[in-house]
Every structure is written in structure tokens, then in C-alpha cells.
Amino acid sequence: MEALAKILPKMKKFNDYITDVKKDNFPISLSGLSDSQKVHFIYSTRFYTERPILIVTYNDIQLKKLREDLKFFEDEESLVFPKREVVYYDIDTMNKDVTMDRLSIYTKLYNSESNIILTTIEALMQKTVPKNKLFGKVLQLESGKEISLDDLKENLNVLGYERTDMVEGRGQYTVRGGIIDFFPLTTNNPVRVEFWGDEIDSIRFFDVESQRTIESLKDISVFPAEEFLIEQSELDAICNNILKEYPNAIDDVEAIKNGKYLMKIDKYFKFFYSETSNLLDYVSKNTIIFLDEPSRILSKAQALEYENKEIIEQYLEKNKIVPSYTEAMSNWGDINFELEKKNIINLERTNTMHAKRNGYSFNCREVNFFRGSMDIFVQEVQDAIHDEKIVFILGGTVSKARGLATMLLEHGVSATFIEDTNGDELMNYLNQAPIDRAYCAPIRSGNDAGNCSGTQCAPICRYETETMLTIVAANSVRHIPESSSFQAIYLRDLNM
């Protein structure tokens, strides 16, 4: 929602903050912000700097809340980097959804395609393979390129693709005569490569169900389909080292030699990888990292360290092999050391400064501002007009905004409906608009927001400066049910 981003420069503090960001004056601290206000600042930071964003929060519940709030601002859905579920027991099959999501993030970071990524401190503390190891075998296929069908099969195996009778999902491949079908993690459709001898004759996307060609390709990059890649030639040395330390691990070693090493990675992680990495090593140098509630992130990290310590002690008491992936998990000290070298912005609800410099404190409180009363809403608008402020009301859809304008007119308040809320035109219009009326505008097109009445007109956001009052009506936010009990964000002293 560009219109909301263009409101913030009316705040001197925000302009000073963005100047610091553009000058790389990190770390920066923003305190006194509510959750919705945090997201507004994150989106606006992305909008005015055009730099990739990584948001680190303290648990999955808060991550989901932040992501839902971001949907209000971002047309393109933000990405989530999930934590791995560590396997402490023997299993025959593994759910690959989390692996696919993590690999998708790694690949987008590798290709510099990410905008906003959210993750938790737990996912950040988990180890992975170094970037050069994961992407060292990326395969480049081109029409006319010489490569044998057998070599392509071997390359797909190395990259973690699973051979099946028919390609139905990502990470699979199949061979039929002189044709190889495979489904990359980075595309919406599978790829068909047709050979003429040892030369690639054609590359094209095809539909899974109809098998018909969708689009012909000149070339394509094939990225890994597994996070933890091990070549067959490395397995003998890995198995020998395991048996040296754990002579009774014969069954596990046999499973690893038979290609089922992914089921044993967590248990014997240190034998598979002498060098490790984490998500921070994959993000670009210009990425801005927001730490959502650093104090809560620290508490969560310390709790995870304690939990891992207990798990290790339990395994030792039972004389069992301690899962080395748990032992290898980064501690807060390691993560904090890496974060200190990054472009960090701390976000705190309370007015505390985590950065020694460049701290911006905002006086923000949450209240049920209109308390479900249309009269209070109308009075608020009238008072702002009397104080010669421009009143800007964002009302959800076109029909909702038009309904707000009509409702204000019925209550004797001059109101103008503005249909176009895109780009600079809206803000230019408001800057030149008469101050004797309210201006109602939609956040999005369509007619799915319902009618505005009673508590439905309670605000979700309220911003006030010396010259302007902005109200975002509750059911403007498409991901919040209209039956919810809404709170307004009342931000004071914005002109300071």
C-alpha cells in the first residue's frame, strides 16, 4: 500500500531514520512501536531503500502475525524461512515440505530475488551447509549443449532429485527413452529435456496433468532439491569415521551406505560436514535485518540452549548416541557476533534503546479509540477539520470508501470520495486539497469489504501530525475478520 508509505515522510523522525538507513549508520533502534506500526515501518523501509529485508522474531506465532500484517502492505507475498524439525528417532520417510521451503529461500537469495523474508531465532540458530557447498553443483542446461543422458541423470541424483515413474511434484525426475522430465524447486511447472544423441535438442515447460508443452526454453539453471547433499564417493569415509567413534552403529552405517543418509544426518551431522553455515551467510551484504523484540529473541535463544543441553544430558544418561545436529546448533553468542557485522534495526514496543546511537523513540499506544461509536468517529473528523487538518480516511474497497463519504455527508460533514489511491497523485492531491472536508479513499479495488456500520468503522490505524489526520478503517484489512475486536494505533508527537 504505497499511499500509507507516503504518509510517513511527514514525520521528521521518519525522514531522519531513513537517512541513517541509506547512509548505513547501523545499528539503529526503533522503540515504542506496536506490532502493526512495526510492519508499517518495515514495509516503508523497503519502499524507500529498495533493499532486501530479513525479519527475525522470537517464535512462530509472532512470525505468522507479522506475515499477516505484511499482506496488508505487500502485493507480493513475503517469504518464510522455517526451522528444521530435528529427527531424534529412526524413520522410513521424511516430509519434504520444510526442506523445499528452506531451499526455495536459499535459491532466491542466491539469485538476489528476495524482497522480504521472515524467520525465527530458532531457524537462524540451526546449522546448514555452506553456500559454496550447496550451490557448487548448480547445473546449467542449454539447447544444443553436449551432455549425455546418463550424465544428466547422475547430476540430478547428486542434486538430490528422486527418480520416480512419473513426475508429479518438485524434486522428482523420470526417464523415458531419450527424454528426461524433472521438476525444479524454482519453477511452477516441470521441465522436459529431449536429447538427440548426446546433445540437448529441446527444453520446455510442460503441464503435469495434460503433459502438454507450456513454453519452450533456451536454457535453465537446475538448483539442488535437497539441503544436505553428499556425493556417493564421500560416504565410505563418513561411515568409517562413524564406526571409529561408535563401533555398534553398524545398522546405521549400512543404511547410510545404501543411500538413506538423509534419515541419519541429524544423528551424525558432525561426520558429514566439517564446515557449517546458517541463514546469515546466505543473505547479501546490503540486506537490512530487523530484530523484532531483541530482548525476547535473547530469552528464546537462551531457552533453546537450555533445552538442547537437557536433550544431550538425557541421551548421555541412557548411553545413547547424542544427535550431533543438536550439539552443532549455534548459541546466542555466535549468532549475536555475526549479527553485529550486519545491517541491524532493533524493534521494541517499550521505549528502550538497544543501539548506542541512532535511536528513535516513538510515543505509541493502543486503545479502542472509537469504542464502536459512530458519533465518536464523526466527532473526531469534525474536530480535525476545525483544527484545519486534512482528514484522510482509507476505507478498504471502493464501495466501502464511497460509503464512508456518504455516511459523513449524512452527518453534516463535508466529504470527498477519491477513487485512485495509487502513486504520487494521491499524496499530491492531499497536499493541495482544501482543509474544510474529509477525504475517503479505497485501499484496494473490489466490493468485498461489506458495509460500514457500528464497530466496523473502528480504526485499525490512526496517524496524526500537525497538518494531517489519517484513519485506516478496520475492515480495510482483508486478513482480519470483521467480527474481531479492533484496537486503534494512536501515534502522538509524530512531528518531533
The per-residue pLDDT string of the chain (496 residues; one tens digit each, 9 = 90 and over) reads 676 777 778 778 889 999 999 999 999 999 888 777 888 899 999 999 999 999 999 999 999 999 988 887 776 779 999 999 887 777 666 678 899 999 999 999 999 988 899 999 999 999 999 999 999 999 999 999 999 999 999 999 999 999 999 999 999 999 999 999 999 988 999 999 999 999 999 999 999 999 999 999 999 999 999 999 888 889 999 999 999 999 999 999 999 998 888 889 999 999 999 899 999 999 999 999 999 999 999 999 999 999 999 999 999 999 999 889 998 899 999 999 999 999 999 999 876 554 446 789 876 555 445 656 778 778 888 888 888 877 878 776 778 788 888 888 999 999 888 876 554 566 667 667 777 888 877 765 444 333 333 333 333 455 555 566 666 654 433 322 222 222 233 222 222 2
Cell numbers placing 247: 563401533
Angle at 93 between CA 120 and CA 100, to 5 degrees: 40
Q: In whole angstroms, how far apart are CA 319 and each of 66, 157, 253, 322, 356?
A: 43, 36, 19, 9, 48
Q: Which CATH fold would you assign to the domain 139-222? A: Penicillin-binding protein 1b fold (3.30.2060)
Type of residue numbered 429? Y
Global pTM exceeds 0.85 = no
CATH 3.30.2060.10 residue spans of the chain? 139-222
Instruction: Quote the CA–CA distance of 423 and 250 in Å, as a whole number.
Output: 66
Instruction: Quote the CA–CA distance of 149 and 134 in Å, as a whole number.
Output: 23
Task: Tell me whether residue 478 is exposed, middle or buried, using C-beta atoms within 10 angstroms of its C-beta: 0 to 12, 13 to 18, 19 or more.
Answer: middle
**Predicted local distance difference test score (pLDDT) of residue 470:** 64
**Predicted local distance difference test score (pLDDT) of residue 443:** 62
**Predicted local distance difference test score (pLDDT) of residue 183:** 96
Q: Does domain 2-132+274-361 have CATH number 3.40.50.300?
A: yes
Measured torsion, CA atoms of residues 52, 57, 62, 67, in degrees rounded to the nearest 10 = 10
**Residues with Cβ < 8 Å from 199, sequence gap 6 or more?**
144, 145, 146, 147
CATH 3.40.50.300 residue spans of the chain? 2-132+274-361
Give residue-wise pLDDT tens across range 239-259. Answer: 999 999 999 999 999 999 988
Type of residue numbered 77? E
Give residue-wise pLDDT tens across range 257-289. Answer: 988 888 899 999 999 998 999 999 999 999 999
**Predicted local distance difference test score (pLDDT) of residue 281:** 96
Strands 79-81 and 53-57 come out as unpaired
Instruction: Quote the CA–CA distance of 336 and 328 in Å, as a whole number.
Output: 16
